[in-house]
Chains A and B, each alone.
Chain A
Amino acid sequence: GENVEQHPSTLSVQEGDSAVIKCTYSDSASNYFPWYKQELGKGPQLIIDIRSNVGEKKDQRIAVTLNKTAKHFSLHITETQPEDSAVYFCAAIPFYGSGNTGKLIFGQGTTLQVKP
């Protein structure tokens, strides 16, 4: 089955710097890769996602890149702010052929700390 590895587990940056989180997946048929931000005591919130038919997607300070050949995808946050501090999770969904049931496989999470 699908396996998602996420690195680093913790990341500390100065305000204004960029942050990059990387994930690798095992199932070459995976076709959907969302990123979630989880603040303490709250559920994960979708911040950006990418499907396998594109290589990059941007939304203001956030971008995601996908390398299908290498089976990895990355989250890039530019001009980081203290409110970006949270746990970030990548995820992938294996493709079941005739359809899928929405079973997301999550990475282990990255705790991002943005120092003022």
Chain B
Amino acid sequence: GAGVSQSPRYKVAKRGQDVALRCDPISGHVSLFWYQQALGQGPEFLTYFQNEAQLDKSGLPSDRFFAERPEGSVSTLKIQRTQQEDSAVYLCASSLEPGLNSPLHFGNGTRLTVT
């Protein structure tokens, strides 16, 4: 079956530009997570949705980062006025049940490069 799909696969932005990254979770999955993975590091939590509700956004690094999941399915991570330190792979994951009561399924990520 289809896994978690992320688009675009690669994104190059000039510093100061806004970007939008899309995540299509596995159909029917209640939970959706965004993680940021810098080169050579483990993923770091950004935010968590349970259906359309954003229950935890404690990992968003600044108010330039915004995530939404308006209909409880597709999610978008938006970064305004991109900075070089935003360069990373942005991973989306979904799971069937709330929280971590079921395994996380990760997408292949969007590699963002800010020049």
Q: A residues engaging B (CB < 8 A)?
A: 6, 32, 34, 36, 41-46, 49, 89, 91, 93, 99-109
Contacts and interface: CB of A to CB of B under 8 A. Distances in A.
A109 B103 contact: no
Interface stretch (B13-21, B42-50, B80-88): B42-50
Nearest to A6: B42
A66 to B, nearest CB: 16
A106 B35 CA distance: 11
Size band of the interface chain B makes with A: 20 to 34
Interface in B83-115: 91, 93, 95, 98-100, 103-109
7 contacts: A32-B100, A34-B104, A43-B4, A46-B103, A102-B56, A102-B98, A103-B56
B99 A102 contact: yes
Nearest to B100: A102
B41 A109 contact: yes
